[in-house]
Structure 1
Amino acid sequence: MILLPAVDILEGKAVRLARGEFDQRTVYDA
């Protein structure tokens, strides 16, 4: 099994959305 993280790109930054909701997001900076 291959697991892929659910990471989206929003405003040029990598973000993780909680249950797909934009107001509950975690932003990851490089």
Structure 2
Amino acid sequence: MAGCCFVKAMEYSVVYISVLSAVRISHGLTQ
């Protein structure tokens, strides 16, 4: 059970990081 939750947390963190970098890249392009 804990392993499943850990995998979910890893997936969410990966998505969060990719969204964060995409936002950073778009901000860099607009500036």
TM-score class, shorter: under 0.3
Tell me: higher relative CO, structure 1 or 2? Use CA pairs within 8 A at least 6 residues apart: 1
Q: TM-score, normalised by structure 2?
A: 0.16
Higher strand share: 1
Structure showing the higher helix proportion among its residues: 2
